[in-house]
Amino acid sequence: MKIALFTFVLTVLSSWAYADDYKVYWRCLDGHLEAMEAHAKLNGEETPLYIHYQSTKQPAWQSTPISLRSLVNLPLNTQNGDFVVLGNKKQWLLNCVGEVHHNPVYHHGNVIFSVTRNAYSCPLIPQECQAKPASQ
């Protein structure tokens, strides 16, 4: 029983030591942040969204799903300013590039997809973040 409890505690602690939660946002044209949805319509069907990132510990790119609370787990060695790519499990959207920002105020960092910079032509930008047509 003690071994099982020790194994469980060690498993929980090792997962906390490996990954940290990051909140995923769109930075809209007017500058406000909009939380990213966990699913989007890609190629005509609803699909879960993933963040693809380069880990310094492994040579291959890794991916992690976006949760319903707009959170992703990224490794603890993720640096401020690292770039990530949005997509589904098998497809990367190379015109949807986000940037990691560590936030000293909150217990988690942010991954921000700016519609005016690296994600300006992303097909998943929500309507709330796009420019309003000018009325004449």
Q: Residue ranges of the domains in the chain? A: 20-129
**Can you give the pTM of this predicted structure?**
0.78
Q: How confident is the model at residue 7 (pLDDT cuts 50, 70, 90)?
A: low
Question: Average of pLDDT values for 90-112?
Answer: 88
Share of the chain above pLDDT 70, in %: 82
* CA dihedral sign of residues 112, 115, 119, 125: positive
Q: pLDDT tens for residues 30-69?
A: 999 999 999 998 888 899 999 999 887 778 889 999 999 9
Task: Output the pLDDT for position 104.
Answer: 79
- 49 contacts: CB under 8 Å, gap ≥ 6: 36, 37, 38, 39, 40, 65, 66, 86, 87, 88, 124
Mean pLDDT over the full length of the chain: 83
